[in-house]
Amino acid sequence: MPDATGDATRAAHAGLPAAEPFRPPMPGPVMSAYFHLPGDPTGAPYAYGRETNPTWTALETAVAELESPGEPAHAAVFASGMAAVAAVLFGHLRPGDTVVVPSDGYHGVHQLGDRLGEFGVTVRQVATADTEGQLAALADARLLWLETPANPGLDTCDIRALADAARERGVLVAVDNTLPTPLGQRPLELGADLSVASGTKGFSGHGDVLLGYVATRDAALLGPVRTWRSCVGAVPGPMETWLAHRGMATLPLRLERQSANALAIARRLLERGDVADVRYPGLPGDPGHAVAAAQMSAFGGVVSFTLPDRAHAERFLAALRVIGEATSFGGVRSMAERRARWTEPPAGPTPGDGAGEVSAADDPAGAHPAAQVPPGFIRLSVGIEDAADLIADVDRALDETARSAD
């Protein structure tokens, strides 16, 4: 890519081939399950579509450049964020190992933790903001898994301090960097061994791609991850990979706009008396702000707050007109959801007929006690619309909800 130090230039050019007369600046997706492979396949760059693909190579090069612009790095892309998470956990953990995970982090990690437990791996859970608890949990651990800001509660932790402590104990550190994206936070620069993300969210940003990736400065750490990808076939399609690479060019613009919009909405929510526990790392008064400000260059587009109860929250969501109701974040269009719907039974049970009980069969997201939030908890993913329109939509929906409750 051209000589550059700016993130926007890097995002627009990373992973693209050198300019060649009469050729496109960004080659199209390579749709092939196999490649011509004469003779000895050892060292062949492309042999079979479950192992490698030129379109993956382009995006992996770009991801490595964004996650670690100052030092060579390596990356592997996956069919989804969870496929990337699974590759790290199952690729680097063995029976008898211990992994430390955030008790308030993404519920999918806890689901995988249950599976790891079945294979003889010990899973210790510690809250993201509990630094002392995390340090204590490192004893005899093999891997420390961090998520900062945590999804959905938005607590933060000091990556550098924890990575330094883990290194002294010989513990690997992996950071879920989905919410910040590599332009909002760079775990590898802060001492983490692995940076993992769902490219489905802010990285690709348009809500039309399922994708994940793992990045590291240590090529040896990527070996087990790539082996897992190939063995289980957790590979991304060429078109999805190409779309994510194409969308990456606008990441700086999207992230800047989303962060500004999120801060404006968070400030407005603080002015209202009908919401509680407004969380956004960019707010100076937020409990996680000091840590976030020290290690993040942008605070992202996710805001959370709590309404009085389930019914109140559902009325609020139904009253929104610009902001959609969906379970994702980081996209160009704003969306919100009552996050507790994934960890509680469907509406309508009465006492005595199973109220308060939920199984994985009833809950497609996989209920897990560690992932629970209050019934009125709202996760708001702020998009790139005009801030005034988003604030007006939230205000109007809250006002309508209050009137309907009277």
pLDDT tens per residue, range 207-241: 999 999 999 999 999 999 999 999 999 999 999 99
Mean pLDDT of 358-376: 55
pLDDT on residue 346: 66
Q: Do residues 191 and 210 lie in contact, with contact meaning Cβ atoms separated by under 8 Å?
A: no
Structural domains in the chain?
A: 7-248 (3.40.640.10), 251-405 (3.90.1150.10)
Residue pair 232/105 in contact (Cβ under 8 Å)? The answer is no
Model pTM? Answer: 0.92
- What are the catalytic residues? 50, 106, 176, 201
- For residue 348, name the pLDDT band (cuts at 50, 70, 90): low
Q: How many CB atoms lie within 10 A of CB 34?
A: 10
Average pLDDT over every residue of 343-369: 45
